[in-house]
Structure 1
């Protein structure tokens, strides 16, 4: 190990988070808390815990131009949607990964709340949650319009219904069969 590396590691430490000590924050009808804001990883990774109420829509269909996502379901079930593919109902203990540029969204159509930890690499997307919270203010329901406005600021492309339908049609034309897509 060279001297520069030795000096660098003196500034590092293992991050330790106790989620129970972090208050939940509100995004309309949803709750979230930042478990890792990227400060421990030079913005290479952030982690957000989210609580999605029963019978709730999540974000609009979108894709990220600059970051991958992981979802670790810790309570209940969350439905993941990709145009042209059957939805995936992930339950507690399941892990979902979403690569850069894959159109997706999630929802909770079930009768119990769902909770997941979202990993984002690189971690700059943590600012999306903070910006969206600022847009919504106190008690405002999360709307598609607010969601789209916030997504556009963070290298994320929201998809309109026409684009989603084209993706579904292309998937069927490519032999991916009939799929049931919730739009």
Structure 2
């Protein structure tokens, strides 16, 4: 038997193409005090993968603590330092070339408490979560800041559970008692 590609695979492969994102041609979008750009919106992978590049200004708190019900994330820092937090587990300061992986249901947040802006590339699998950035941008409008309430409202629309302060304390207690 010869090594041949079956007809179905051959036909399907003809509908595909290599994806190419040239960041120099993708403008930064403003989301309050943060900037982002979508490098892969998920359309090319049937929404299995989304990729976002984010710029966090110095002394920025980042999103509220939250966890995702349906997607994993990775964060690859390319500039500055980003602090990744998980209640009861402390934090990790990641610099250029370092990768952080956040599995489904792990409470987390990130911040930039440092004096230099930070940039990272973030993947979401599945990739529908990239729409969160666009929705939050629409919710805050021009010139507004990302507030805790707006952040929590936007997260809830994308299978993400924002944590109240009480919920954060509960996670910290559970981890401390292990």
Scaled to the shorter chain, the TM-score interval is over 0.9
* TM-score, length of structure 2 as denominator length: 0.96
Residue matched to 2:19: 15
The alignment partner of 2:100 has SS state of: strand
Residue matched to 2:144: 140
Answering whether residue 136 of structure 2 is matched by residue 166 of structure 1, we say no
* TM-score, length of structure 1 as denominator length: 0.94
Aligned mate of 1:114, from 108, 113, 118:
118
Residue matched to 2:54: 50
Aligned mate of 2:35, from 31, 34, 37:
31
The alignment partner of 1:57 has SS state of: coil
Q: Once the 2 structures are TM-superposed, how far is the Cα of residue 11 of structure 1 from its aligned partner?
A: 1.0
Residue matched to 1:181: none
Aligned mate of 1:87, from 87, 91, 100:
91
Q: In the aligned structure 2, how far is the partner of 1:41 from the partner of 1:5? A: 16
Detail structure 1 runs of 4+ shifted over 4 Å in the superposition.
Answer: none
Task: Name stretches of at least 5 consecutive residues in structure 1 with no aligned partner.
Answer: 175-183
Task: Name stretches of at least 5 consecutive residues in structure 2 with no aligned partner.
Answer: none
Residue matched to 1:177: none
Q: Once the 2 structures are TM-superposed, how far is the Cα of residue 16 of structure 1 from its aligned partner?
A: 1.1
